[in-house]
Amino acid sequence: MSAPLELMGAPGSPYTRKMLALLRYRRIPYAMLWGGHQRPAPGYPEPKVKLLPTFYFPSSDGGKDAVVDSTPIARRLERDVAGRSALPNDPALAFLNDLIEDYADEWLTKAMFHFRWAHEDDIANAGPLLIFWSIPNAPRENAEAMATAISKRQIDRLYVVGSNAVTAKTIEDSYVRLLMILDDIIEARGFVFGDRPATADFALYGQLTQLAQVEPTSSALTRRTAPRVRAWVDRVEDLSGLAPQDADWLQRGEARAALAPLLAEVGRVYAPFLIANARAAQAGQDSFEAEIDGRPWAQPTFAYQVKCLAALRAGFAALAGPDQAAVRDSLADTGCGALFN
Ligand SMILES: N[C@@H](CCC(=O)N[C@@H](CS)C(=O)NCC(=O)O)C(=O)O
């Protein structure tokens, strides 16, 4: 057996949970180092950007390379490890998977961060967890002060994701719509792209481990709105026993009808966000205002999400003509077409 792939992360990090579930499904041997960058493990290099999860890939000189960013790591693992792929083999569907994965990573995380820190009950719940998830032996007499300090730091960062009194309703309504859409998808076929999971499912799952299981307000909302989705999250944690077949992927001809509601949600909230953010960055503005879902939206400009849009556009441009046409057909009337015009 080759050495397990090491990664550091925390149970409360949606991207850590995304990657753990993907590793389990793909049966890639791993070693989970629970922790955080505030207490670096001796002998482990620091990544350029200190994010969770951080993967430690073996480097050519026998050392370790610290690598972050879940989506490119998932693609690297597809190249390095054969079998049990989490990417649809139809290029048009693979592209739609990239788009939905990006929506989950970059938009749904707004709901995750909002629900964690916007309401009193949730703040009281999350503060101590954030300490004990990374430092289980934090001394009792300090833990409360540490929880208060980390809560304050995170609440002060709510504005960064665009969560404020003006946007709260937009974020919360969007979450409830997503639950109903996923409820239908899971009832119809189990996963977004068929009877087997794709990286988009793991990205949705990662955010939902927090929204549906940890935060009291959104957990209660999930249970009331879509108990099936809550149950799905509990199961997706470990899909190592699933036996995926090629025929389990959605067929191209089925994609439009099957994915229309989810893509319409992406087009309703995430597409206008990505476009307004990129426009602001281009104009050199460090914050922007936009209209999302018929309501005002205001937040700082985010360089990373400019890159997300550029990557999606490059992926679309790289598709062969008939695949582009199939993607355009699936995106018709969803509001997502505006991203690629
Ligand atoms: N795009 C990255 C995002 C990773 C990320 O933002 N991780 C969060 C935790 S879930 C983080 O490490 N934030 C910095 C911090 O907590 O200091 C990915 O997909 O891996």
CATH code of 28's domain: 3.40.30.10
Number of domains in the chain: 1
Q: How far is the CA of 143 from the centre of ligand 1 (A)?
A: 23
Q: Where does 28-146 show beta strands of DSSP type E?
A: 30-34, 54-58, 64-68
Pocket probe for ligand 1: among 15, 116, 117, the residue whose CB has the most ligand atoms within 8 Å is 15
CA-nearest residue, atom 18 of ligand 1? 69
53 part of a folded domain: yes
Distance CA 311, CA 99 (A): 10
Kindly give the number of the ligand 1 atom that is closest to the alpha carbon of 12: 10
Q: What is the mean pLDDT of residues 179-205?
A: 98
Distance CA 39, CA 49 (A): 15
pLDDT at 341 over 90: no
What pLDDT, in 10s, does the model give residues 31-88?
999 999 988 888 999 999 999 999 999 999 999 999 999 999 999 999 999 999 999 9
65 part of a folded domain: yes
Q: Which two tokens stand for residue 92?
A: 């048009």
Q: What distance lies between CA 13 and its chain's CA centroid?
A: 10
For ligand 1, residues with CB inside 6 Å are: 13-15, 51-52, 68-71, 105
230 part of a folded domain: no
Length of the chain: 341
Q: How far is the CA of 70 from the centre of ligand 1 (A)?
A: 9
Q: Which two tokens stand for residue 298?
A: 């205001």
Q: What value does the mean pLDDT of the chain take? A: 97
Kindly give the number of the ligand 1 atom that is closest to the alpha carbon of 51: 12
Pocket probe for ligand 1: among 52, 67, 75, 308, the residue whose CB has the most ligand atoms within 8 Å is 52
What pLDDT, in 10s, does the model give residues 125-159?
999 999 999 999 999 999 999 999 999 999 999 99
Q: Which two tokens stand for residue 8?
A: 């550091």
Antiparallel, parallel or unpaired: β 64-68 and 54-58: antiparallel
Of the candidates 163, 153, 151, the one whose C-alpha atom is nearest the C-alpha of residue 115 is: 163
CA-nearest residue, atom 11 of ligand 1? 51
Q: What is the mean pLDDT of residues 21-40?
A: 94
What domain range is 39 assigned to? 5-80
134 part of a folded domain: no
Kindly give the number of the ligand 1 atom that is closest to the alpha carbon of 105: 19
Share of residues in the chain with pLDDT > 90 (%): 96
State the alpha helices, DSSP H only, in 212-289: 216-225, 227-236, 252-265, 271-282
Measured at the alpha carbon of residue 60, what is the angle toward residues 17 and 41, in degrees to the nearest 5?
Answer: 45
CA-nearest residue, atom 15 of ligand 1? 51
* Unique residue bearing structure tokens 């370790």: 64
Q: In whole angstroms, how large is the CA radius of gyration of the chain? A: 20
58 part of a folded domain: yes
